[in-house]
């Protein structure tokens, strides 16, 4: 089954609102012609309004890097799904390893965020990945299995259509140590197999699995040519318009 590629740019804690506006304008102009893949960018909460204004009517979706699962209330510092929808957000990253590492995110919270996102028609990108020690200890598949099963508890086959999974080996994020295409392909095929065993072959074949971790202009094509790699979740290189464009261009 042909899956549409999906390239996402995670800006992390970078770019002021005015810098975000400039980058979004540049991306809008550059990426207009790439109609064969889906594209989304993820600025900080503070820049979402200005970026979604700039990208209105374009082929680039706007998302956020996290989201609370509650609708409103006494949750200091948090942002709710309906606030995001009102601001033009259509996508959200959940369970990024930096959220897990620095902000106490875990599989249970990831599961709650997925449910809340889907209930508001926001499409989640669910991040999973092993650390360097876990890879060296040969427990990569156990870690991925636990994270995927934990994230998808209670999610129906129908709901799976709104979900993207991103395989992001923690040792490859921001380090310049990209997984080899073969290493990434192995884990992507493992994830697809897991989803097949949880749901149906049809659900597994329709699922898009992005690779993330030091994706750059010069390694994107070899990663994206792997049969089970359906796109990229790009950090550092998404902050430079020409680099992000080169990655989008490399997508199938
Ligand atoms: P990186 O980040 O491309 O800078 O390694 C990827 C990510 O964290 O999503």
Binding site membership of 235 for ligand 1 (Cβ less than 6 Å): yes
Q: Any idea which residue has 């261009």 for tokens?
A: 249
pLDDT number for residue 177: 87
pLDDT number for residue 27: 98
**Mean pLDDT, to the nearest integer, of 32-61?**
97
Instruction: Provide DSSP, 75-95.
Output: -TT---HHHHHHTT--EEEES
**Mean pLDDT, to the nearest integer, of 113-121?**
98
Binding site membership of 215 for ligand 1 (Cβ less than 6 Å): yes
**Mean pLDDT, to the nearest integer, of 224-248?**
98
Residue closest via CA to ligand 1's atom 7 equals 235
Number of H helices, E strands in the chain: 12, 8
Q: Which of 79, 61, 60, 59 is nearest to 69 (CA)?
A: 79
Q: What are the Cα distances from residue 10, in Å, to 125, 174, 195, 200, 240? A: 11, 12, 25, 30, 12
Q: Is residue 1 part of a domain?
A: no
Judge residue 198's burial from the number of C-beta atoms within 10 Å of its C-beta, 0-12 exposed, 13-18 middle, 19 or more buried.
Answer: middle
Sign of the alpha-carbon torsion through 19, 213, 120, 161: positive
234 Cα nearest atom in ligand 1: 3
State how many domains the chain has: 1
pLDDT number for residue 203: 98
Task: Enumerate the β-bridge partners of residue 164.
Answer: 125, 208
CA 84 / ligand 1 centre spacing (Å): 23
pLDDT tens per residue across span 131-182? 999 999 999 999 999 999 999 999 999 999 999 999 999 999 989 888 899 9
Answer whether residue 252 shows pLDDT above 80. no
Binding site membership of 95 for ligand 1 (Cβ less than 6 Å): no
Q: Is residue 170 part of a domain?
A: yes
**Mean pLDDT, to the nearest integer, of 105-133?**
97
In whole angstroms, give the CA distance from residue 40 to residue 211: 15
**Range of 93's domain?**
6-250
Domain containing 194 — which CATH number? Answer: 3.20.20.70
pLDDT tens per residue across span 61-113? 999 999 999 999 999 999 999 999 999 999 999 999 999 999 999 999 999 99
Average pLDDT, the chain: 97
**Mean pLDDT, to the nearest integer, of 212-222?**
96
Which alpha helices (DSSP H) does 41-160 contain, by range? 45-55, 81-86, 97-102, 107-119, 132-136, 140-151, 157-160
In whole angstroms, give the CA distance from residue 223 to residue 218: 10
Which residue numbers are catalytic?
96, 168
Answer whether residue 214 shows pLDDT above 70. yes
What are the two backbone dihedrals, phi and then psi, of residue 122, each rounded to the nearest 5 degrees?
A: -100, 135
Answer whether residue 1 shows pLDDT above 70. no
pTM for this model (two decimals)? 0.97
């Amino acid at each position: 089954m042909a899956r549409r590629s999906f390239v996402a740019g995670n800006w992390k804690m970078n770019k002021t609102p005015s810098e975000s506006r400039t980058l979004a304008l540049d991306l809008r102009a550059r990426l207009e012609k790439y109609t064969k893949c889906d594209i989304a960018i993820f600025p900080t909460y503070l820049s979402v309004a200005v970026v979604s204004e700039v990208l209105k009517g374009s082929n680039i979706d706007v998302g956020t890097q996290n989201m609370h699962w509650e609708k409103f209330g006494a949750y200091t510092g948090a942002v709710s799904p309906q606030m995001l929808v009102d601001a033009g957000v259509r996508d959200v990253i959940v369970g990024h390893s930096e959220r897990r590492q620095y902000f106490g995110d875990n599989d249970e919270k990831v599961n709650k965020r997925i449910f809340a996102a889907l209930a508001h028609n926001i499409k989640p990108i669910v991040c999973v990945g092993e650390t360097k020690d876990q890879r060296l200890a040969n427990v990569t598949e156990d870690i991925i299995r636990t994270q995927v099963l934990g994230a998808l508890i209670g999610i129906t086959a129908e709901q799976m259509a709104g979900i993207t999974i991103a395989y992001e080996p923690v040792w490859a994020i921001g380090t310049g140590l990209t997984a080899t295409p073969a290493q990434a392909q192995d884990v992507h095929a493992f994830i697809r197999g897991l989803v097949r065993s949880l749901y149906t072959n049809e659900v597994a074949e329709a699922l898009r699995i992005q690779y993330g971790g030091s994706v750059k202009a010069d390694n994107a094509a070899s990663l994206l040519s792997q049969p089970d790699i359906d796109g990229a979740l790009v950090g550092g290189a998404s902050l430079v318009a020409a680099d992000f464009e080169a990655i989008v261009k490399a997508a199938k």
